[in-house]
């Protein structure tokens, strides 16, 4: 899958991108909301967008809105945060996020979520996966 990783912490973008490439995915990175919006227009389409919640020039919720406004097929959106609370999780689901992960991102859970996305039949959404701060997945 083609995955765009967005985080203002460069180390996270590099590490997650390398991890995803080692597992056979095509990963691109962006260090800001602005750079991510440019990447969506220039390097897209992407199958999945994995975005941080809090960045200096915007938020992951802004990215969820931007992805929802793209022409079909829209990327599946995943949110990650070290500072999310229940209200962020609720807003992310309202905006169509497929999953929300704590930071550091639990890599096994990320891989399982990507498998769930790949396994979803066309036109049929896979179950949402919301991660608690402790890393336990809840499907909905």
DSSP 8-state symbol, 64: H
- The mean predicted confidence, pLDDT, of the chain is 86
Give the pairing type, strands 129-131 and 2-6.
unpaired
- Angle formed at CA 121 by CA 116 and CA 123, multiple of 5 degrees: 115
pLDDT digits (tens, 9 = 90+) for 25-50: 999 999 999 999 999 999 989 999 99
Q: Which of 65, 37, 64 is nearest to 51 (CA)?
A: 64
Longest pairwise C-alpha distance within the chain: 36
Q: To which H or E segment does residue 99 belong?
A: strand 99-102
Band (104; pLDDT cuts 50, 70, 90): very high
Enter the tokens of residue 89.
């999780």
CA pair distance 126, 109, nearest whole angstrom: 15
Looking at residue 122, its pLDDT comes to: 56
Average pLDDT of span 61-65: 93
Residue of 140 and 77 predicted with greater confidence: 77
pTM (2 decimals)? 0.85
pLDDT, position 92: 86
At residue 129, does pLDDT exceed 60?
A: no
- What CA–CA distance (Å, rounded) separates 114 from 50? 11
User: Tens digits of per-residue pLDDT, 111-126?
Assistant: 999 999 998 755 554 4
- pLDDT band for 82, please (50, 70, 90 cuts): confident
The CATH architecture annotation of domain 2-139 reads: 3-Layer(aba) Sandwich (3.40)
Q: How far apart are CA 55 and CA 73, in angstroms?
A: 26
- The runs of H, that is alpha helices, within 1-140 are 10-22, 33-42, 60-68, 86-94, 107-119
């Amino acid at each position: 899958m083609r995955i765009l990783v967005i985080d203002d912490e460069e180390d996270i973008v590099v590490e997650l991108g390398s991890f995803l490439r080692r597992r056979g995915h095509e990963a691109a990175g962006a260090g800001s909301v602005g750079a991510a919006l440019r990447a969506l227009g220039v390097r897209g389409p992407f199958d999945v967008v994995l975005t941080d919640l809090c960045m200096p020039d915007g938020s992951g919720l802004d990215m969820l809105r931007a992805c929802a406004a793209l022409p079909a097929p829209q990327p599946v959106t995943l949110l990650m945060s070290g500072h999310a609370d229940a209200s962020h999780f609720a807003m992310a689901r309202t905006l169509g996020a497929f999953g929300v992960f704590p930071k550091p991102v639990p890599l096994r859970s990320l891989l399982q979520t990507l498998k769930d996305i790949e396994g979803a039949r066309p036109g049929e959404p896979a179950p949402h996966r919301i991660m608690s701060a402790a890393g336990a997945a809840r499907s909905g």
